[in-house]
Structures are given as C-alpha cells and as structure tokens.
C-alpha cells in the first residue's frame, strides 16, 4: 500500500551516514570550477541527498526496497512494510521517528475485468470537492502507458503495471502521491515510525482516500455497445466521451 516516500533527516545524520558501509556514494561537481555541488548515496533503490545545510533527504520506493530495489508489482503487506523500515533503521542506524515525511505515495495493484489499456483510455478527468475539473494527461514512458493528474496537494497516477514490467498479468496500478502532508494531517502520519504503528483507523483512512479519489474520476466506458442504443442516447454518448464537451458545461448544458 505504501510505496514512494520522501523524508528529511536532521543534521546529525550527515556525519553518521557518511561512514555507513551499506551506502554507495557518488558526487557531482561544477564542470567549470571542479567544486563538489552535490553528494549522493544509494542503498538498493533508496537515495540519500546530503545538503549543504546539513540535512539529508531520503527518497525512494519502500515497496521496491523490499524487493531488493527491483520492482513493486507484487503484494506489499503491512508486515513487509514494517520489516523494510526496521531493516533501514538497523542497517543505517536511523531513528525512524526522526525521519520526517515530506511526500508519501499510497497505491494498489488491481487485476481489472477489462484490459488495462481500455481502462486507461476511459480516464478523462478528476474533479473533487472545491476542485476544478482537471484532465488526465498522458505521460510518455518507454515502459508502458501512464496517465496522471497534478493537483496542488497530490498527484493521481494510473498506469499499466503489467506492461511496465513485461508481465503476462493484466495489472492496473492506482496511486495517490501526497506532495503536501497537510492533505493527510487527519491520518496523523508524520514520520517513518508512524508507518510501523499504523492503526486500523489509519489503514481504513488510507483505503478510503484511495477509493474517494477514484470515485471523483469522470470515466467513459468504451465497452458500451452503441448498436443497442437509441439515436438520442448515441448522440449523448458521443458527446460525453468528448473532452471539449466535458470542459464546456455552460455551452452544452452538462453538469457533472
């Protein structure tokens, strides 16, 4: 359920992580002056950025980390999440309560009854309470079909997970990426340690959020058999699948 995270570690970890044998370090330098501009370390797929201010940013997918940094298409249970976090804490000597979350991503893998490509084509817009209608945009990826909506506090991400990893499974991925933690302040998830101690209410809150965002999607079902419909309904169906029509409710008299 939990995938990508971005957490900030206090200044004291700048030194302790610098001497950690689990990390592989690399640096970037100014091509003109030769001065080191950024210091980065990696542990499997996790990345640690050492800032000049002294703090350290940790980013990456906890799900992929559990799979040795290779993939995130299998089930990732709460037990798997906890074991991953404990491994990070033990091997890197990090107090998880001191790793304050800046971003977090929640997602689910689903095997839908229709082809994922068809499902993705049907995603038109997202529109939530007090939010204007926002179109799902195609994002070009070599690994597969991917659509996204960008909001001020979160992103919605939908893609063909099976194609992404060359799987035979018809696997759809639905994600909500929180980019401003105020969006989930009601869940009281503030640091990595909170993820180890998730209550039933917090888990239910995460699932409710994933379902709520999906229910706010304007979706066109391309499997509708138009031959069985009356002419008047066919015309409406043709209009409803049009992005121009959907974006101009005042002109066409449509209310979603």
The counts of H helices and E strands in the chain are: 10, 13
**What DSSP assignment string belongs to 75-118?**
---HHHHHHHHHHHHHHHT--GGGSEEEEEEEEEEE--SS-HHH
> Confidence class of residue 24 from pLDDT cuts 50, 70 and 90?
very high
The whole-angstrom separation of Cα 186 and Cα 113 is: 34
- The pTM (predicted TM-score) of the whole model is 0.85
Residue predicted with more confidence, 167 or 27: 167
Percentage of residues in the chain with pLDDT exceeding 70? 86
Long-range (24+ apart) CB contacts under 8 A made by 72-78 are 72/3, 73/109, 73/161, 73/162, 73/164, 73/165, 73/167, 73/169, 73/171, 74/109, 75/109, 76/1, 76/2, 76/3, 78/1, 78/198, 78/203
Domain boundaries, the chain: 2-223, 225-256
Between residues 227 and 240, the one the model is more confident about? 227
Element (H, E) at 247: helix 243-247
Q: Is 202 helix (H, G, I), strand (E, B) or coil?
A: helix
Give tens-digit pLDDT for 169-221: 999 999 999 999 999 999 999 999 999 989 999 999 999 999 999 999 988 87
120 and 171 Cβ atoms separated by less than 8 Å:
no
């Amino acid at each position: 359920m939990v995938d990508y995270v971005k957490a900030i570690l206090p200044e004291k970890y700048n030194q302790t992580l610098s001497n950690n044998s689990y990390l592989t370090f690399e640096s970037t330098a100014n091509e003109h002056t030769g001065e080191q501009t950024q210091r980065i370390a990696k542990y499997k797929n996790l990345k640690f950025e050492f800032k000049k201010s002294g703090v350290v940013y940790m980013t990456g997918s906890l799900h992929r980390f559990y799979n040795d940094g290779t993939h995130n298409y299998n089930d990732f249970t709460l037990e798997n999440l906890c074991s991953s976090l404990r491994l990070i804490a033990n091997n890197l000597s990090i107090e998880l309560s001191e790793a304050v979350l800046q971003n977090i991503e929640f997602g689910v893998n689903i095997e839908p009854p229709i082809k994922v490509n068809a499902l993705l084509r049907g995603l038109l817009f997202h529109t939530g309470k007090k939010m204007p209608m926002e179109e799902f945009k195609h994002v070009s990826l070599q690994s597969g079909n991917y659509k996204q909506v960008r909001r001020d506090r979160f992103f919605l991400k939908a893609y063909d997970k099976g194609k992404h990893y060359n799987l035979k499974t018809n696997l759809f991925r639905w994600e909500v990426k929180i980019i401003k933690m105020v969006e989930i302040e009601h869940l009281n998830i503030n640091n990595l340690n909170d993820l180890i101690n998730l209550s039933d209410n917090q888990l239910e809150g995460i699932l409710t959020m994933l379902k709520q965002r999906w229910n706010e999607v304007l979706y066109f079902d391309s499997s509708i058999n138009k031959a069985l419909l009356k002419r008047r309904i066919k015309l409406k169906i043709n209009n409803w699948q049009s992005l121009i029509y959907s974006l101009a409710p005042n002109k066409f008299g449509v209310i979603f």
